[in-house]
């Protein structure tokens, strides 16, 4: 992969400007901050919805649309991120996405009714949809291959932490401030991020030959992903099974339509031919299974601690913070571990540990010591952090440079979808267990069953880990077989 800080050999073309600190860590942390804002806002409203419903004079259940409309914007617009970035310039679009996200946050803070909040969340989601895939694209285009593992580890942390920190942070803000501050805090972070991008991120030119935008593919992807997202959510909530199944059927039909459409385009919106690349395909499949478990945890853990254990929102947040600390600590150890054991062996062994770690949550009981549960969740966060750092790096090992943008869009789209499927899977299993037990509130046994089921899903990824080549990613990790 060509490093963009190198000077061009054409004397007539001026060299690309060098940043003040030409260090991959600077680039990674700037991108990480943007991704953190996008991921945090997907869940931060969860604990603030009752208060907001009171201010908007609507029922609390009606406020769920404020969360789902944000996820809808992500699902529809993420697939278009790669094409937009290549056409108008990666850095330019990344800066614009931050501006749109900040404007959406300001609009949310000024909302005085539910329709105003929905419109503002759509605007916010439009900016957020571009930040994660384009941020990853910036890292892939500007970081040397020998530093890619470490760089990806930095950018992984916010994607991992955002959904986990959202609910407890929202509860803290609502308890001690007011819900408007949920959106106020995005403004200074966004403005700082815009300046940092402008100052330190290299100019990455648009594609030499911009392709025609795949409008038909965009429509089919939007219908498919949006319908599947809402269908799975309704299925998980068991609110209207007929409508949920209808949406899933519509989404599946649109998805099949896109598969046929994609075969007849040379430049499809989501290039599924990338799945022919072994390392990319295996990372997508194994990572999708693992993300079901990862997506379910931010939903199941706070509910279990607060409903089944009777802990306060703040105390629950302190326990969930353990997974955050585990992820941060593992970040610095990941490059060395991959260099020592390699991608294949690391993903096989750590994948089992990650799944069993969250399966242990099924054994948690209210009389367990806080320190023991904190330590186990710390390990869960560390295991998952290593696993996703490995996926997010080895996936691009064999992807040609000119297809990196398309690969980033496809990978991020499937990642977002599977995290949503994880939330819905956890909710659905919980509802089914409650139905069998015939009780309105979830009991400890219901949570235990849900943890075991989603952990078994991630454990099934072992089959795909074993299919990686024994020397997969050796150029990225520096691992050499003895």
* CATH code 1.20.1250.20 for 18-214+265-269: yes
How far is Cα 231 from Cα 241, in angstroms, rounded to an integer? 9
Record the tokens describing residue 150, joined without a space.
């470490």
Residue 374: pLDDT band with limits 50, 70, 90: very high
Angle at 337 between CA 1 and CA 321, to 5 degrees: 105
Q: Tell me the chain's radius of gyration from C-alpha atoms.
A: 22
Q: What is the mean pLDDT of residues 156-179?
A: 70
How many C-beta neighbours within 10 Å does residue 96 have? Answer: 17
Q: What is the mean pLDDT of residues 350-374?
A: 91
The Cα 11–Cα 48 span in angstroms is 58
Provide the CATH topology of domain 272-482. Growth Hormone; Chain: A; (1.20.1250)
pLDDT tops 90 at residue 435: no
**Mean pLDDT, to the nearest integer, of 264-291?**
87
Residue 338 CB contacts under 8 Å (≥ 6 apart), including other chains: 149, 346, 390, 473, 476, 477, 479
**CA pair distance 10, 296, nearest whole angstrom:** 52
Contact 145, 21 (CB under 8 A): no
Residues 451/276, Cβ–Cβ less than 8 Å: no
Find out whether 323 and 166 touch, Cβ atoms under 8 Å. no
Q: What per-residue confidence (pLDDT) applies to 12?
A: 42
- pLDDT for position 53: 76
Global pTM value:
0.74
Rounded mean pLDDT, 283-294: 90
pLDDT in tens, 37-94: 777 776 677 667 667 777 888 765 566 667 767 777 877 888 887 778 877 888 888 8
For the cut 80, the answer to whether the pLDDT of residue 123 exceeds it is yes
Q: Which element (helix H / strand E) includes 479?
A: none
Distances (CA, A) of 160 to 3, 113, 323, 361, 444: 27, 32, 9, 18, 26
Q: Hey, where are the domains in the chain?
A: 18-214+265-269, 272-482
pLDDT confidence bin for 180, thresholds 50/70/90? confident
d(C-alpha 17, C-alpha 6), whole Å: 10
**Rounded to whole angstroms, how far apart are CA atoms 219 and 109?**
31
- Residue 294 sits at the vertex; the CA angle it makes with 293 and 298, to the nearest 5 degrees, is 110
Residue 43 confidence (pLDDT)? 66
pLDDT of residue 122: 87
Domains 18-214+265-269 and 272-482 share a fold: yes
> By mean pLDDT, which of 153-162, 170-179, 184-193, 313-322 is the weakest?
153-162
**pLDDT reading at 188 higher than 60:** yes
Sign of CA dihedral 228, 230, 232, 234: negative
Question: Which residues are CB-neighbours of 215 under 8 A, at least 6 positions away?
Answer: none
Tell me the CB-side half-sphere exposure of residue 173, using CA atoms within 13 A. 22
410: nearest Cα among 253, 256, 262, 297? 262
Which band of pLDDT confidence, cut at 50, 70 and 90, is reported for residue 456?
very high
pLDDT at position 353 over 90: yes
């Amino acid at each position: 992969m060509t490093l963009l800080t190198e000077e061009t050999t054409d004397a007539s073309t001026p060299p690309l400007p060098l940043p003040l600190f030409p260090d991959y860590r600077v680039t990674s942390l700037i991108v990480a901050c943007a991704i953190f804002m996008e991921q945090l806002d997907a869940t931060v409203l969860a604990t603030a919805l009752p208060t907001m419903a009171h201010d908007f004079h609507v029922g609390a259940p009606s406020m769920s649309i404020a969360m789902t409309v944000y996820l809808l914007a992500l699902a529809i617009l993420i697939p278009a991120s790669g094409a937009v970035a290549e056409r108008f310039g990666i850095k330019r679009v990344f800066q614009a996405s931050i501006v749109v996200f900040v404007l959406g946050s300001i609009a949310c803070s000024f909302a005085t009714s539910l329709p105003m909040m929905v419109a503002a969340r759509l605007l916010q989601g439009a900016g957020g949809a571009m930040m994660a895939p384009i941020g990853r694209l910036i890292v892939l285009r500007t970081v040397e291959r020998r530093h890619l593992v470490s760089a990806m580890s930095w950018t992984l942390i916010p994607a991992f932490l955002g959904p986990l920190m959202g609910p407890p942070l929202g509860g803290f803000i609502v308890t001690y401030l007011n819900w408007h501050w949920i959106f106020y805090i995005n403004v200074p972070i966004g403005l700082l991020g815009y300046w940092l991008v402008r100052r330190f991120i290299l100019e990455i030119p648009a594609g030499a030959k911009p392709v025609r935008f795949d409008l038909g593919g965009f429509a089919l992807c939007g219908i498919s992903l949006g319908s599947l997202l809402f269908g799975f959510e309704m299925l998980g909530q068991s609110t209207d099974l007929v409508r949920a199944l209808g949406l899933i059927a519509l989404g599946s039909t649109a998805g099949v339509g896109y598969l046929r459409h994609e075969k007849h385009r040379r430049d499809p919106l989501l290039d599924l031919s990338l799945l022919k690349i072994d390392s990319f395909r295996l990372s997508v499949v194994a990572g999708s299974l693992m993300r079901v478990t990862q997506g379910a945890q931010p939903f199941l853990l706070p509910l279990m601690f607060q409903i089944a254990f009777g802990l306060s929102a703040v105390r629950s947040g302190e326990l969930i913070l353990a997974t955050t600390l585990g992820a941060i600590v593992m970040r610095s150890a990941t490059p060395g571990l991959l260099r020592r054991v390699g991608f294949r062996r690391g993903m096989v062994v750590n994948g089992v540990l990650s799944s069993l770690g969250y399966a242990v949550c099924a054994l948690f009981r209210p009389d367990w010591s806080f320190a023991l549960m904190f330590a186990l969740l710390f390990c869960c966060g560390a295991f998952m952090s290593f696993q996703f750092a490995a996926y997010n790096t080895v996936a691009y090992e064999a992807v040609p440079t000119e297809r990196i943008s398309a690969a980033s869009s496809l990978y991020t789209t499937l990642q977002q979808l599977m995290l949503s499927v994880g939330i819905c899977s956890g909710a659905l299993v919980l509802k089914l267990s409650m139905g069998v037990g015939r009780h309105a509130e979830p009991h400890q046994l219901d949570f235990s069953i849900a943890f075991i089921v989603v952990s078994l899903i991630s454990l099934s990824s072992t089959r795909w880990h074993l299919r990686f080549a024994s020397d997969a990613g050796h150029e990225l990790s520096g691992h050499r077989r003895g």
